[in-house]
């Protein structure tokens, strides 16, 4: 089902990363959910946050199911640790806002956990790690506590993968924050990638990667269409 406006969840990586904050993303402030989309595919990010295009597919529906509990916002105590769900996050320094699926308030400091429906390979996990790192940056500013680690939780297998929020990941996250801000400020769609990423993307029909990605082929067709010699040959054949 295609729609525009404000969906309950968006995807393209196989999970609803978070509900897009259209107003925040279109201003100087960047929404955390945009970062994973940009890391995965800048065009996907632009379609969602500039064009405000949304489409559900099998993977986003599965992701919605995985997020049902965390989206309730229910706070619990588990093994003596306070667990906060759907926690609003912000950073005035980075002009960043969003929410964390789960934050465990451990004695050593906050521990963010990002929920995904299915397990990610190293490449896709790196995109989710950017989102997790952005959550950590917000938590550090909000609570004044270091956040050196977090985790990606896989709903399908009920397993966690711990992520070290180290200097290289932080530098990459900061770079993507500024790249998203520049992208949304310019309001121009990046070109489609037309590669393996497109197969599971819920926005493939709106993006048209197979059509628009072959720009060389399109230029060739345009050249033939408006080539006078070609037009004369066509006219002679009709005669």
Q: List per-residue pLDDT tens for the chain, 239 residues long.
A: 333 333 333 333 333 334 444 444 445 899 999 999 999 899 888 888 888 887 655 555 555 555 566 767 789 999 999 999 999 999 999 999 999 999 999 999 999 999 886 655 556 688 999 999 999 999 999 999 999 999 999 877 888 999 999 999 999 999 999 999 999 998 788 888 877 777 777 777 777 766 765 555 555 555 555 555 555 555 555 55
CATH 3.90.320.10 assigned to domain 2-206? The reply is yes
- Residue ranges of the domains in the chain? 2-206, 208-238
Q: What is the pLDDT of residue 188?
A: 81
Report pTM: 0.73
| CB distance 8 to 18 below 8 Å | no
Q: What is the pLDDT of residue 67?
A: 57
Q: What is the pLDDT of residue 127?
A: 92
């Amino acid at each position: 089902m295609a729609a525009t406006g404000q969906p309950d969840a968006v995807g393209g990586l196989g999970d609803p990363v978070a509900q897009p904050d259209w107003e925040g993303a279109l201003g100087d402030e960047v929404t955390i959910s945009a970062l994973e989309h940009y890391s995965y595919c800048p065009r996907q990010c632009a379609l969602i946050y500039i064009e405000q295009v949304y489409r559900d597919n099998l993977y986003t529906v599965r992701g919605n199911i995985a997020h049902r509990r965390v989206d309730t916002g229910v706070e619990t105590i588990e093994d003596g640790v306070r667990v906060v769900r759907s926690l609003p996050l912000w950073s005035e320094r980075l002009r960043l806002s969003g929410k964390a699926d789960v934050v465990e308030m451990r004695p050593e400091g906050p521990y963010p956990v990002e929920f995904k429906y299915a397990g990610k390979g190293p490449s896709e996990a790196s995109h989710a790690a950017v989102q997790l790192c952005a959550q950590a940056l917000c938590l550090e500013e909000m609570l004044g506590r270091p956040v050196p680690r977090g985790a990606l939780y896989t709903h399908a297998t009920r397993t966690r993968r711990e992520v070290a929020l180290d200097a290289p990941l932080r530098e990459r996250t900061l770079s993507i924050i500024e790249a998203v801000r520049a992208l949304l400020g310019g309001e121009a769609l990046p070109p489609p990638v037309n590669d393996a990423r497109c197969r599971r993307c819920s926005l493939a029909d709106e993006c048209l990667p197979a059509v628009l990605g072959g720009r060389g082929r399109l230029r060739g067709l345009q050249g033939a269409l408006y080539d006078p010699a070609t037009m004369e040959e066509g006219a002679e054949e009709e005669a």
